[in-house]
Amino acid sequence: MSAEAAYLHGTSPAEQGRLSLLNRLMNEAAMRELAIRPGERIVDFGSGLGQLSLDMARAAGVAVVGIERSQEQLARAERDPLLDLRRGDVTDPPLREREWGSFDLAHARFVLEHVLDPLTVVRHMVRAVRPGGRVVLQDDDHDVFRCWPEPAGFSALWRAFQRSYDRLGCDPFIGRRLVSLLHDAGAAPVRSTWIYFGSCAAEPKWPGFVENIHSQLAGAREAMAGGGLLGAAEIDAALAAFRDWARRPEAAIWYAVCWAEGVRR
């Protein structure tokens, strides 16, 4: 199976809109955790639309190398002198010989859950940084996600969504493995934490959280129904129930993105 076939969500305009929204919801917290220092040289594995890459570049004050295999993503990515965006696969990064071992930070977010061999990617990340350089992994463990009070049909829908990952050979629970991946790739793990990604109906960002989850699930509808994981009518009913649930004043989403950091020995 190709790397392209292993990516569940595709690169449609709707998915690009969801990713842009996701960046707006998450990047401020991510930047606090990253604590970029001026002058740091950074390579971003799976840079997508380049929004977080550009935030990191502005904090460092030097150009960030962003690696992205999707031509559609690159066509709509941020354009800035501080971004050096390169088309390529994170399993075979398009870095020049002199660049290997030169970066202060290698970063990946929401990448490892979509590749067939995440350890190979992390090994490349470790090789990309200098001795003592940082490797930061951010990714999902979809078993952590909770809605409360739970919308009708949501448990079955979320289980089918999780299974759509493993049907492609990917891991929907990879977040819990991040520290192990750093260790197995030869880095010294130094930190693990969460970035909280939840909200409740009274908060200004609530519509964005709801839209992100709904769009993510709706975008996987074909994979779930076509794979025999859940019937199309059940999917549609659960998505409609989720929309109705989101208007309840006591509705809440509880979720966190897993974070692991290591250094090259």
Domain assignment of residue 30, given as a range? 13-264
State how far the Cα of 26 lies from the Cα of 109, in Å rounded to an integer: 11
- Overall pTM surpassing 0.85 (yes/no): yes
Provide mean pLDDT across the span 232-251: 98
For residue 264, pLDDT beyond 70? yes
Confirm whether 7 is domain-assigned. no
Number of domains in the chain: 1
Task: Collect all residues with Cβ–Cβ distance below 8 Å to 20 and sequence separation of at least 6.
Answer: 49, 51
Confirm whether 4 is domain-assigned. no
How far, in Å, are 57, 152, 214 from residue 231 at the CA level? Answer: 45, 15, 17
Supply the pLDDT for residue 6.
Answer: 61
Confirm whether 252 is domain-assigned. yes
Confirm whether 8 is domain-assigned. no
Confirm whether 5 is domain-assigned. no
pLDDT in tens, 43-80: 999 999 999 999 999 999 999 999 999 999 999 899 99
Cα dihedral sign, 45-51-57-60: negative
Side chain identity, residue 5: A
Assign residue 237 the CATH number of its domain. 3.40.50.150
